[in-house]
Chain A
Amino acid sequence: MPEFAVPLLAGAVTLATPLVFAAVGEIIMEKSGVLNIALEGTMLVAALAAAFVTYFTASPAAGLAAGVAAAVLFGLLFALFAVGIQADQIVTGTAMNIFALGLTGVLYRSLFGFSGTRLAVAGFQPWPLPFLKDIPVIGTVFFSQNVLVYAALVLTLLVAAALKRTRTGLYLQAAGENPQGAEVAGISVYRLRLLAIMTGSALCGLGGVFLVLVEGNTFVEGMTAGRGFIALAIVILARWQPVRALVVALVFGLASALQFQAQAIGIDVPYQLFLALPYVLTILFAMLVGRANVPAALAKPYIKE
């Protein structure tokens, strides 16, 4: 294995992790019939909350908790419109994204903006797992990372299993395929969708926390830089399966890491091509595969009779 491969793969894992969180969170929501395109906004809100709380407590763990809590609150606001008053989910999601960008900007500026100094917070340090870290290549790539990378791996498997094998998971899918039928069978579609939005937003929030506590150790306005939309694309490419979403995210992560490495070596790659890659792939894929696997009631507000 060439010398540059290990840092390359480790970089791919880091770049993929926030995408995995957001995509798996979105899968939970979409499986229940809710199309929440406000992933970008959810991540930003979580990122800012994590940055503030970590700054004032000096504890990344407290920052993580705050980030997830903020994401869940943001999800509840989305649910108020999307589930509570059956508003159009795309319009609600778009508004929430714009709202989050403005809100985080105003809050950040009001506390740190004009001082000219940068908000610097303590982040999560790498935490190599005993024994596993000594496996050649894989040990460095996957098991010498930080706690949030492991969490992404474990949570993806948990969500995949829960959707397939638990009663709640199956009910959730029923709410997304045939809400009327599910309601007849005694399932509360509102409750399930609310639960899906809260869990999905929490996961997505972890993606935002990752940006602050692993990648930057600071907050920057708009630092999500389109990751929420790439995560939406991943969900489509992964056909609503968490483990596949993990794989697709890793492929995207690898593509970015590869182009950084290529530029660093001195190969002049048109980086714009790589930025467009997720979207181009998604459009091609959607054209080829059509609507297979799409939850039947996706983005359709459920109105109880």
Chain B
Amino acid sequence: MLKNRLIHFITVAVVFLLSCTGAEKHSGFKVALLSPGPISDAGWNASAWEGLQRIKSELNAHVSQVETRVPAEFEASFREYGRMGYDLVFGHGFEFQDAAATVAQDFPETVFITTSGNTVRKNVAPMVFQLEQATYLAGALAALMSKTGRIGGVGGIKIPPVQSTFAAFEAGARAVRPDIKVSFVYIGNWENVGAARQAALALIDQGCDLLIHNADAAAAGVFQAAAERNIYVFGTNKDQNTIEPEHVLASCVSDIPGAFVTMAKIVRDKKFAAKIYRLGMRDGIVSLVINPRLADRIPASARERLVSLEQRILSGALNVPGLP
């Protein structure tokens, strides 16, 4: 009880302070973001922040952001923004959907969008990135490049959107090399860099010579391990090719900022419909971006294979398994 009240109080204080900062003139369209982690993570949360900033400049909206870590905070913050009359509130992650559904019925004028998820209400909808299309291609590329026949991945928390990107990675690998061995290690959070490094080293010790991650900020440990043992890794969510330019072979990118702007325009123009918004390669939101510095290390045959797989995904001939 006391804890909830404390969290509530802090949220109110933070929201109030944050709203004080944007005193300049705006259109009256108000957009807020609940991020599950620090917006300085150069990954998942940073892209949401970038999206919010683009909404601010491109739609001339008033924006606000708060970092929330536990479900009690999700609900309290959603409620606070609803009460303050925000038109659109993003909950940046699968874990926000229950809180959004609970709060949304009390604030029918506010639209709640969660990034990934499957909960739809009158004013609640998820936007789902079909990042699996890109991790499928990454898996195929990994299998084509692996010398040991073993590849793997390091995940943060074992939640469906992470598991599905890994499932697609594995499916892509098997599509080009049926006997490939694929293992994944979860560390149980999104910040523990040291744990992510050990998890990656454990995979490398098992013979994995290409790794993917889906661990947000903790991925720093995966990049570190890749550099130490001189193997290739794939970035996820954002273009992370420059983080370890000699070791990040490619990145599975969701144009999260672009998607945020798209959704904000839909809500502003009153075109919001209660449905799952699916955004993928065909919408230009998802792609596999090869690191230009390492492009010449990919054999021409592998590259051709990759292009043909990509074409089949774009044309709809290939349905990536596990796609939300």
Residues of A that sit less than 8 Å from B by CB: 4, 7-8, 11, 14-15, 18, 105, 108-109, 112-114, 116-118, 120, 211, 215-218, 220-223, 225-226, 256-257, 260-261, 263-266, 271-272, 274-275
A-B contact pairs, 28 of them (CB 8 A): A8-B202, A11-B202, A14-B198, A15-B194, A105-B38, A108-B40, A109-B40, A113-B39, A113-B40, A114-B46, A116-B42, A117-B243, A215-B221, A216-B194, A218-B220, A220-B41, A220-B193, A220-B217, A221-B37, A221-B41, A222-B38, A222-B217, A225-B189, A225-B192, A225-B195, A226-B192, A260-B202, A263-B186
Chain A proximity of B212: nearest CB distance (Å): 14
CB atoms of B188 and A264 under 8 A apart = no
Residues of B43-98 whose CB lies within 8 A of A = 46, 49-50
How many angstroms between the C-alpha atoms of A253 and B195 in the bound complex?
10
Closest to A276 in B: B188
CB atoms of B205 and A264 under 8 A apart = yes
How many angstroms between the C-alpha atoms of A256 and B197 in the bound complex?
12
Residues of B that sit less than 8 Å from A by CB: 37-42, 46, 49-50, 152, 158, 181, 183-189, 191-195, 197-199, 201-203, 205-206, 208, 217-218, 220-221, 224, 238, 242-243
CB atoms of B205 and A4 under 8 A apart = yes
Residues of A within 8 A of B205 (CB): 4, 7, 261, 264
Residues of A within 8 A of B183 (CB): 263-266
The answer to whether residues A216 and B221 also contact, given A15-B198, A260-B199 and a CB cut-off of 8 A, is yes
Q: Which of A118, A215, A266, A275 makes the CB contact (< 8 A) with B194?
A: A215
CB atoms of B221 and A263 under 8 A apart = no
The answer to whether residues A215 and B185 also contact, given A15-B198, A257-B202, A265-B206 and a CB cut-off of 8 A, is no
How many angstroms between the C-alpha atoms of A257 and B38 in the bound complex?
27
CB atoms of B217 and A211 under 8 A apart = no
Instruction: Identify 4 new A-B residue pairs, CB closer than 8 A, beyond the known A113-B39, A215-B224.
Output: A7-B205, A114-B40, A116-B46, A261-B206
The 9 closest A-B pairs by CB, nearest first: A113-B40, A216-B193, A225-B192, A221-B38, A215-B194, A263-B185, A264-B202, A260-B202, A222-B191
CB atoms of B243 and A118 under 8 A apart = yes
Chain B proximity of A112: nearest CB distance (Å): 7
CB atoms of A216 and B220 under 8 A apart = yes
CB atoms of B40 and A221 under 8 A apart = yes
Residues of B within 8 A of A225 (CB): 189, 191-192, 194-195
